[in-house]
C-alpha cells in the first residue's frame, strides 16, 4: 500500500474520521497539504440541526482555542442563515452541522508523513499507521443499481418550469439537482472511496466517517479558504466530458472555453461571491484573480473562477463563512429565491451534498470544499445516495441538463458498479 492508502486504512478504524486528499493536482494551488487526516476515538464537538449551529461553532472554537477542528456544514443550514424550511425526504439523517476536536492530526507534505497533533506519542502514531490493515478497492458482489428518485419526464418538466421562473424574473439562474439512490445496498465505504478516488483524482477528495454514516467525495471545487487575512473562493460553473481521442478532447475543451452559456452562468456566480465577500472584506480588496479558468480532470473539463478578498485584521472569518453559505454555485441567483424553488422542485434533502467539509487550523485559518461528485451512505439502513445537478438558465436545454447530471456522476456510479 502507498502511504496515503495506509493513512486511509488507519483512519477508517476510528468512529470519527476525516481524510482530505488533493491528489497532487498541479493547477489549483492554494493547498497546504497533499493529504490531511484527523481522527477521534471519543467525540468532543458538536453535531446539531440547523437553528443555533453557527453560534455553537463559535462557542466550540472559543472552548478549544489554538486547536484543530474538523467537520462539515450541511446544506440545510440554509434554514438557520435564512427564513427557510426543509420538508423533503431524508434517507441519510446527517446532523446539519458537525465539528470535532481530533485526538490526532497527520498530514503528508513533500511525500513525508508529519504528525501535526497527537494525544499519544508520535512514534506510536507512526507505528499504528504502518501496521494498519490492508486497504483494497471495494467491488460489490452484485451490481448496485442507483435509481433516479425523479423520473426523467418529471425532471425535464421541472427544468421547463424553472426556465419559466427565469422568464418571469423570479430568478436569473438556479442549481437544480436530482438524487440517484439504492436501498438495501451493502458497501464498504472506505473501500468505495479508495476506488472512487482512484478514478477521479480530484483536488478536494474527502472521506468522512461519523458513527454509521459516511461521505465518499471526489470534489473539484473549493468553497472558502482563509489564510491569514485573505479569503479565497473558487466556484465552478461549466462542465464538459472528456474524450480518449486527443483531438476530440481538445475540441471539447475549446467548446467550453467559447460557450457563452457557461460563461454567463459562471460570471453570475462570481458576482454573487463578490457580493458575499463585500459584507466582510475591506473595501477595494475584492479581486477576481481568474475568470473562466479551464481545468482538466480525469473525467471532465471544468470552468473555474477564483475570487479573493481581505478580511479586517483579527477577523476570524466565521461570519464570512455563515454569510456565504450555502455557496452560490450550488444555489443560484438571487440566492434566497433560488433556495425556495429548490425546495419546491427537488425531491430529496441534500444532506451533505452542496455542503462543505473542511477544517480550522490552530492559528485560525480554514479551508472547505464543496461537496459534489459524491456518495452518501447510512450503514444502519443501507441507504446509498448520489445527487447531481447543474445550473439552469433560460438558454438551458432540458435534455442536455439531464445528460450533464449523468456525466457528473459517471465516476461516482462507476465506483459502486
Instruction: List, by residue number, the catalytic residues.
Output: 221, 237
Give SS3 for 247.
helix
Q: Which residues contact 251 (CB under 8 A, 6 or more apart)?
A: none
In Å, how far are 58, 272, 314, 333, 352 from 276, measured between CA atoms?
A: 20, 6, 19, 12, 21
Question: Cis before residue 416, ω within 30 degrees of 0?
Answer: no
Q: What is the DSSP string of 154-215?
A: HHHHHHHHHHHHHHTTS-SEEEEEEEEEESS----HHHHHHHHHHHH--TEEEEEEETTEEE
- Give the dihedral sign, CA 68/112/201/413: negative
- Rounded Cα–Cα distance for residues 205 and 28 (Å): 13
In Å, how far are 111, 179, 240, 410 from 404, measured between CA atoms?
A: 36, 14, 8, 10
- Beta carbons within 10 angstroms of residue 143's beta carbon: 9
Strands 230-234 and 300-310: antiparallel
- Give the dihedral sign, CA 372/39/231/51: positive
Can you read off the three cell numbers belonging to residue 276? 458575499
User: Distance between alpha carbon 47 and the CA centroid of its chain, in Å?
Assistant: 18
Strands 173-182 and 383-392: antiparallel
Using alpha carbons only, what angle is made at residue 257 by residues 306 and 403, rounded to the nearest 5 degrees? 100
Are the CB atoms for 11 and 189 separated by under 8 Å? Answer: no
Q: What is the DSSP letter of 134?
A: P
Amino acid at each position: 500500500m502507498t502511504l496515503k492508502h495506509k493513512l486511509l486504512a488507519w483512519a477508517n478504524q476510528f468512529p470519527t474520521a476525516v481524510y482530505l486528499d488533493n491528489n497532487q493536482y498541479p493547477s489549483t494551488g492554494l493547498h497546504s497539504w497533499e493529504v490531511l487526516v484527523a481522527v477521534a476515538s471519543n467525540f468532543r464537538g458538536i453535531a446539531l440541526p440547523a437553528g443555533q449551529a453557527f453560534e455553537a461553532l463559535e462557542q466550540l472554537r472559543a472552548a478549544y482555542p489554538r486547536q484543530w477542528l474538523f467537520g462539515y456544514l450541511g446544506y440545510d443550514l440554509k434554514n438557520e442563515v435564512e427564513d427557510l424550511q426543509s420538508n423533503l425526504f431524508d434517507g441519510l439523517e446527517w446532523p446539519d452541522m458537525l465539528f470535532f476536536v481530533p485526538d490526532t492530526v497527520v498530514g503528508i507534505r513533500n511525500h513525508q508523513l508529519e504528525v501535526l497533533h497527537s494525544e499519544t506519542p508520535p512514534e506510536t502514531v507512526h507505528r499504528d499507521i504502518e501496521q494498519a490493515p490492508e486497504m483494497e478497492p471495494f467491488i460489490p458482489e452484485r451490481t448496485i443499481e442507483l435509481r433516479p428518485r425523479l423520473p426523467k419526464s418529471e425532471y425535464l418538466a421541472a427544468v421547463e418550469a424553472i426556465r419559466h421562473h427565469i422568464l418571469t424574473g423570479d430568478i436569473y439562474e438556479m442549481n437544480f439537482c436530482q438524487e440517484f439512490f439504492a436501498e438495501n445496498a451493502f458497501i464498504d465505504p472506505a473501500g468505495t472511496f479508495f476506488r472512487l478516488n482512484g478514478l477521479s483524482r480530484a483536488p478536494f477528495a474527502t472521506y468522512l466517517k461519523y458513527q454509521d454514516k459516511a461521505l465518499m467525495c471526489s470534489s473539484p471545487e473549493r468553497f472558502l479558504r482563509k489564510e491569514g487575512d485573505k479569503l479565497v473562493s473558487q466556484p465552478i460553473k461549466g462542465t464538459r466530458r472528456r474524450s480518449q481521442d486527443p483531438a476530440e478532447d481538445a475540441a471539447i475543451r475549446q467548446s467550453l472555453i467559447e460557450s457563452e452559456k457557461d460563461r454567463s452562468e459562471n460570471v453570475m456566480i462570481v458576482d454573487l461571491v463578490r457580493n458575499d465577500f463585500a459584507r466582510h472584506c475591506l473595501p477595494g480588496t475584492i479581486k477576481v484573480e481568474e475568470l473562466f479558468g479551464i481545468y482538466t480532470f480525469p473525467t471532465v473539463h471544468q470552468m473555474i473562477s477564483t475570487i479573493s478578498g481581505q478580511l479586517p485584521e483579527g477577523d476570524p472569518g466565521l461570519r464570512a463563512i455563515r454569510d456565504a453559505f450555502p455557496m452560490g454555485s450550488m444555489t443560484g441567483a438571487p440566492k434566497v429565491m433560488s433556495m425556495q424553488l429548490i425546495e419546491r422542485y427537488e425531491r430529496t434533502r441534500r444532506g451533505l451534498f452542496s455542503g462543505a467539509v473542511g477544517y480550522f487550523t490552530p492559528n485560525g485559518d480554514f479551508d472547505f470544499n464543496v461537496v459534489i461528485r459524491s456518495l452518501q451512505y447510512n450503514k444502519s439502513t443501507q441507504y446509498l445516495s448520489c445527487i447531481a445537478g447543474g445550473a439552469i438558465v433560460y438558454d438551458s436545454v432540458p435534455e442536455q441538463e439531464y445528460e450533464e447530471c449523468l456525466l457528473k456522476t459517471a465516476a461516482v456510479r462507476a465506483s459502486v458498479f
